[in-house]
A = this chain, B = another copy of it.
């Protein structure tokens, strides 16, 4: 499986936890990890390389070409790295047909094989919408981006990419133009662009399985009429996403899945040690 991560150096510790959870919970798979990282030192790269090698995975640093960004609008508070996942077709080798982008603030707790093998037809991406009882982002974002036709607002933390289709349809100049035109409206730029430009060409996948918002246990439980209890989640969910400002690597975090995340922090620390 090909996996893509993009990050600034401050997300290196969660990336290591993410990698260990991914690799430990997918034994027997052959992983190629593509990483577009800004500001990583040689020592950082060597550490990640050794971590991947420990599980038989191969790390591929992704080179960033400065020229891609000649026409890119810069947004205050956002780094260039926000564009990387949208430039997958430019960044990745032509030989790749498919790649799974994952945010580093996630924990993989099961096999990703079924997700990776999703039949995508001519969809560009497959992703999940964070529906929810108390989640206001959907109506707010629908107004903000005028995408009333799309089914909802996709979370860009997990993006399965159909690279041949993306190479045909996703053009940097469109992305930069969209950012330029909507700069006053953009709140989560990468996600807003993805939804605004390509929302109708994204296949929806079950968020409970592949992009489970770790804050919303009670919401999922209620919405599923009691089916999605802890046994269900642990047996079926593949990707837990620690969305929002409160992160499980912080001491003050009290969320329900914090104990699992913190245990993987220990496992990752041991793998690096």
Contacts and interface: CB of A to CB of B under 8 A. Distances in A.
A258 interface: yes
A259 interface: yes
Most buried by B among A234, A235, A270: A234
Interface in A157-189: none
Interface stretch (A1-9, A71-79, A124-132, A260-268): A260-268
Nearest to A229: B251
A258 B231 CA distance: 9
Nearest to A251: B231
A110 B266 contact: yes
A265 B260 CA distance: 13
A256 interface: yes
Tell me the dominant secondary structure on chain A's binding face.
helix
Interface residues of A, number: 21
Contacts of A109: 263, 266
A230 interface: yes
Contacts of A260: 259-260, 263
Contacts of A266: 109-110, 234-235
A257 interface: yes
A259 B259 contact: yes
Interface string A227-248: 0011100110000000000000
The 6 closest A-B pairs by CB, nearest first: A234-B262, A259-B260, A231-B251, A260-B260, A234-B263, A260-B263
Interface of A: 27, 109-110, 229-231, 234-235, 251, 253-254, 256-260, 262-263, 265-266, 270
